[in-house]
Structure 1
Amino acid sequence: MGEDSGSRSSGTARELRKLKQQAMEYYQENGVPRRLEELLNSTFYLQPADVYGHLSICSVVVPTHFEVHENALPELAEAEEAERNQAVSTAVQWVNRSLTEELQGVEPSSQVDVDHTLRTFFANKVQEEKEKKELEKNLENSTVSIPAPVIPPPPPAPPTKKKPQKQGRKETLTEKPIIPAEPAEPVFYGSMAIGAVSLAVAKTSAILGNRPLYLNIASLKHGQEEPALLTMPLLMVALISCGKSSPGKLNLMKEVICIPHPGLTTRQGVEMLLEIQKHVNRTADTPLPPKAETKKGHNGNKKGQQPITGKMTHLGCLTVNCDTIEQPLLLLQGICASLELELGTDLHLAINCAGHELMDYSRGKYEVAMGTYKNAAEMVDLYVDLISKYPAIIALIDPFRKEDSEQWDSIYNALGSRCYIIAGTASKSISKLLECGDISIPRSNGRIIKHTDQTTMSDLVEITNLIDSKKHITVLGSPDGEATDDSLVDLAVGLSVRFIKLGGPSRGEWVMKYNRLLTIEEELVQNGTLGPNEEHVFFYVNEEAEKALEAAAGELLEPVEPIFPTEVVEEP
């Protein structure tokens, strides 16, 4: 009886594969509609990776790699839009033609083979482009040109007499010149098709195998063996923005990120963040907390202090008009007090400093606030003082540019045992990190990785394994222009990352991800596969907090209705 049943099952599977192969051949011969109008009119999103068998099995939506500039000049916006269109058009061509031929006949369950094919295809495209540029360069150099006349250098200026130094005045030490910014890593047009197809194949395999995507990714990470337990990533949620694009003087805090206590369930953490966000929104028409008093007894407030602006950024967080570093922190401190939460126990903070955006290259200093400049050494002192005053801040993201390796060493030595120093934009791309196999520069406690461009599922597994082997923290972040696809959450759970970095729960593209987080947590609880976050403990957790953490980890989560509505409408 069992043998007959098994034979029928295998026969059905063979017939299904045969039907799907025939369907794929039909679509390749007769063409497949791919909603090109929607693709080419998109500014941030790409949806080229529909995987077709007997019918459309799944689709993915991936964002482009371009940064989102809140107050971009019209000329810059137009130029970026043209680049985006070209990048999307190239990606669509690759999917519709070359990649379809390359992957013909490959089983969706063979993720490693698919990713190897995608990598080889992309490497060949890069090599072709390199050879093309070298040929163009050789043609230009072969053109005969008349050499310019040699102008002799001007005579040296006569030496000036050094004025004697006045007694009692120390000679000013000259500061080391800053290292120029490294050129941005080139992004190959069409590269997003590689990451999109890899994700689409993983989703297709999960659907055909009748299991969720996160289990598919977890099996890939653990050598095709499904782990017995999975953990939920800790939330990193941007709720306040007061960086360079905000109207206030403060530049330093591009994102003030809230992190619920690791002893809470994901649902409890999301509910807490929703309450905090409500209070932040209510303060949109009220003045900010006063500045600290000066020695003369006057505070630094201007007459008619401007209120918090109600502008919502693409990250789903409120833009706050701040002039000092303390103001956004005091705002959250007051909100926590009103909600009977203790900042530093129930809620922790992280600051995305976006150091690469703060450098004033004409002065060689970081502009932490309008008119306030600090050199690299002074920035280290600023961060040490900030963490000393506000120990609830457990992570600093990109405190410096990636070029300032000495300062990364300094701040790691000063704060690395009290605060996570995390490299985001300051880190190399995943492909570069895998190529060199070194994550020690810049020196940090962890990395933010993103699924973007030519990053395949196998690449994500390799980079997380590399980071784990160095005992570093993995933060799975979302690209700047996020898309309406919740696969990011499945990737975070399947890859067992420590944190998932999301925008505020305000816009459709973010709400989808929060709903997915809640669904996965509920599934893991119902299946008995939700593991404890034993290593999700922060630096300064005391004995009482540890006991509370152990007690909370033992509680089961009761299935309830989603916090967010299933259908969401994206805000403009």
Structure 2
Amino acid sequence: VLKAIKNIETIIAPALVGMEVSKQQEIDKKMIELDGTQNKSRLGANAVLSVSMATCRSAAKSSVIPLFLYLRQFVRKENIPPKIPTPMFNVVNGGKHAEDNLDFQEFLVIPASSKTFEEGLQIGTNIYKSLKDILKQNNMSTLTGDEGGFSPKLPTNHEVFTILKQAITATSLRVGFDIFFGIDVAANSFYENKQYHMRDRAQGLSAKDMISYYEELNKTNRLLYLEDPLSEDDWDGWSELSSKISQETIIVGDDLTVTNPYRLQMALDKKAITGIIIKPNQIGTVMETLAVVEVAREAGLKITVSHRSGESNDDFIADFAVGVSADYAKFGAPARGERVAKYNRLLQIEKQLKELKI
């Protein structure tokens, strides 16, 4: 953090002072030139992005319009009205976001897209509370991981779905109608020596074995969303998986694409994905992030705007998700201040959209 602040004060600020705050493209371009690297390694994405976001906020305030509407000017708006994305709630944490309890990083519950955001948030909160009760009844830990989801120790990843179904049934909701399942596998974290090592199987698995595992998992749990199911360089595996289950399940790249236009184009060429995670911190400026969104939308991908695991209470990302009319928003569990801040902002925007009759 201190290095980022120093870079802003000594390098970025002197170059930008005097520029008009409404010139977002020019300001972002100037910072990209100042950094001079492909991955913002000189100044750091934290330094560059914070200035880019602050510029956007300042210009929106100066224009006296909500941030999400200000962002709309940079988006191709043909037949794409602003909308509140469907929330994805990370209710069980594993992998690197918890303490060696599960292999998969996130187990998600996703309200039906026909629900309003307020209804979806209520559904997510009710399931979260119900899940906590189920864990207590089974003498399991209710400690939470980095993103607010619970982190129980279970013998297999598959058993999480059994507990989730119990929690959902207790709220009188129906899996496959009111609520759907998703997983962020983060397969890189258990991929070693060209094999996948997870607690569900005694032996290491090949890409073909993993694909068969996902097909089986999909049959029993009707997955709507599957993120980073294979290693980021296993392009053939991604293409095969996508060809087999993408008709009913969104195959999503995060580690695979890292909000990078070159990685995205490779994924499109290989027909590896049907959805993409968008994280401004992965690329470094607001305008570069918007450019990736446009490419993804033109390709017909489902767009999920995501927070990061180490978050602050800043809610810029909520306005961004609405501004680009994202399909989904992934902001963690309906718990902890840095996650709830985003959900509260989406509630406010939903009310504003109703008042503006948009």
Q: Could you tell me the TM-score, scaled by structure 2's length?
A: 0.92
- Output one character per residue of 1:122-146: Cα deviation in whole Å (capped at 9) or x when no partner: 21xx39xxxxxxxxxxxxxxxxxxx
Alignment map for 1:51-90 (pairs within 5 Å): 88-90=1-3
2:173 paired residue among 341, 346, 352: 341
The residue type paired with residue 501 of structure 1 is K
The residue type paired with residue 83 of structure 2 is T
Residue 331 of structure 1: how far off its partner (Å): 1.1
1:241 maps to: 93
1:479 to 1:326, Cα distance in 2 relative to 1, 3 A:
closer
Q: Does 1:121 align with 2:34?
A: yes
Q: Structure 1 stretches of 5 or more lacking a match? A: 1-87, 128-184, 288-306, 530-572
1:107 to 1:349, Cα distance in 2 relative to 1, 3 A:
same
What is the distance in 1 between the residues matched to 2:308 and 2:332?
11
Residue 239 of structure 1: how far off its partner (Å): 0.4
1:412 paired residue among 238, 242, 246: 242
- Output one character per residue of 1:488-537: Cα deviation in whole Å (capped at 9) or x when no partner: 100001111111111101111011111101000000011101xxxxxxxx
Determine if contact 1:234/1:500 at 8 Å carries over to the other structure.
Answer: yes
- Larger CA Rg, structure 1 vs 2: 1
The residue type paired with residue 75 of structure 2 is K
**The residue matched to 1:427 in structure 2 has which SS?**
coil
What is the distance in 2 between the residues matched to 1:330 and 1:213?
41
1:437 to 1:422, Cα distance in 2 relative to 1, 3 A:
closer
Residue 431 of structure 1: how far off its partner (Å): 6.0
2:218 maps to: 387
**The residue matched to 1:471 in structure 2 has which SS?**
coil
What is the distance in 2 between the residues matched to 1:92 and 1:453?
18
Residue 376 of structure 1: how far off its partner (Å): 1.4
Alignment map for 1:167-316 (pairs within 5 Å): 187-222=41-76, 229-243=81-95, 245-246=98-99, 248=101, 250-251=102-103, 253-287=104-138, 307-316=139-148
**The residue matched to 1:204 in structure 2 has which SS?**
helix
Determine if contact 1:451/1:479 at 8 Å carries over to the other structure.
Answer: no
1:382 to 1:351, Cα distance in 2 relative to 1, 3 A:
same
Determine if contact 1:446/1:474 at 8 Å carries over to the other structure.
Answer: yes
Determine if contact 1:194/1:454 at 8 Å carries over to the other structure.
Answer: no
Residue 286 of structure 1: how far off its partner (Å): 2.6
What is the distance in 1 between the residues matched to 2:283 and 2:242?
31
**The residue matched to 2:281 in structure 1 has which SS?**
coil
2:151 maps to: 319
1:377 maps to: 208
Q: Structure 2 stretches of 5 or more lacking a match? A: none
1:399 maps to: 229
The residue type paired with residue 319 of structure 1 is S
**The residue matched to 1:509 in structure 2 has which SS?**
helix
The residue type paired with residue 195 of structure 1 is L
What is the distance in 1 between the residues matched to 2:113 and 2:80?
21
- Identical columns (%): 23
Residue 94 of structure 1: how far off its partner (Å): 2.3
- Output one character per residue of 1:257-280: Cα deviation in whole Å (capped at 9) or x when no partner: 111011110000001111111111
Residue 324 of structure 1: how far off its partner (Å): 2.5
What is the distance in 1 between the residues matched to 2:80 and 2:184?
35
What is the distance in 1 between the residues matched to 2:129 and 2:263?
40
What is the distance in 2 between the residues matched to 1:262 and 1:188?
41
1:23 maps to: none
1:454 to 1:418, Cα distance in 2 relative to 1, 3 A:
closer
The residue type paired with residue 229 of structure 2 is P
Determine if contact 2:40/2:284 at 8 Å carries over to the other structure.
Answer: no
Q: Does 1:447 align with 2:301?
A: no
Alignment map for 1:9-24 (pairs within 5 Å): none
- Output one character per residue of 1:364-397: Cα deviation in whole Å (capped at 9) or x when no partner: 4211217442221111111111111222x11111
The residue type paired with residue 122 of structure 1 is D
- Output one character per residue of 1:281-325: Cα deviation in whole Å (capped at 9) or x when no partner: 1123332xxxxxxxxxxxxxxxxxxx3212111101100221124
2:16 maps to: 103
Determine if contact 1:89/1:190 at 8 Å carries over to the other structure.
Answer: no
2:333 maps to: 504
Alignment map for 1:142-153 (pairs within 5 Å): none
**The residue matched to 1:205 in structure 2 has which SS?**
helix
Residue 187 of structure 1: how far off its partner (Å): 4.1
**The residue matched to 1:282 in structure 2 has which SS?**
helix
Determine if contact 1:237/1:258 at 8 Å carries over to the other structure.
Answer: yes
1:214 to 1:116, Cα distance in 2 relative to 1, 3 A:
same
Q: Could you tell me the TM-score, scaled by structure 1's length?
A: 0.59
What is the distance in 2 between the residues matched to 1:381 and 1:419?
14
Higher relative contact order (CA 8 A, sep 6+): 2
Greater share of helix:
2
What is the distance in 2 between the residues matched to 1:455 and 1:190?
8
**The residue matched to 1:322 in structure 2 has which SS?**
coil
1:191 to 1:273, Cα distance in 2 relative to 1, 3 A:
closer
Residue 120 of structure 1: how far off its partner (Å): 1.4
2:291 maps to: 462
What is the distance in 2 between the residues matched to 1:440 and 1:276?
39
2:184 maps to: 352
1:422 paired residue among 225, 228, 252: 252
The residue type paired with residue 469 of structure 1 is E
1:394 to 1:401, Cα distance in 2 relative to 1, 3 A:
same
Determine if contact 1:423/1:442 at 8 Å carries over to the other structure.
Answer: no
1:526 to 1:308, Cα distance in 2 relative to 1, 3 A:
same
1:372 to 1:187, Cα distance in 2 relative to 1, 3 A:
farther
Residue 343 of structure 1: how far off its partner (Å): 0.5
**The residue matched to 1:324 in structure 2 has which SS?**
coil
The residue type paired with residue 113 of structure 1 is E
The residue type paired with residue 237 of structure 1 is F
1:334 to 1:217, Cα distance in 2 relative to 1, 3 A:
same
What is the distance in 2 between the residues matched to 1:482 and 1:340?
32
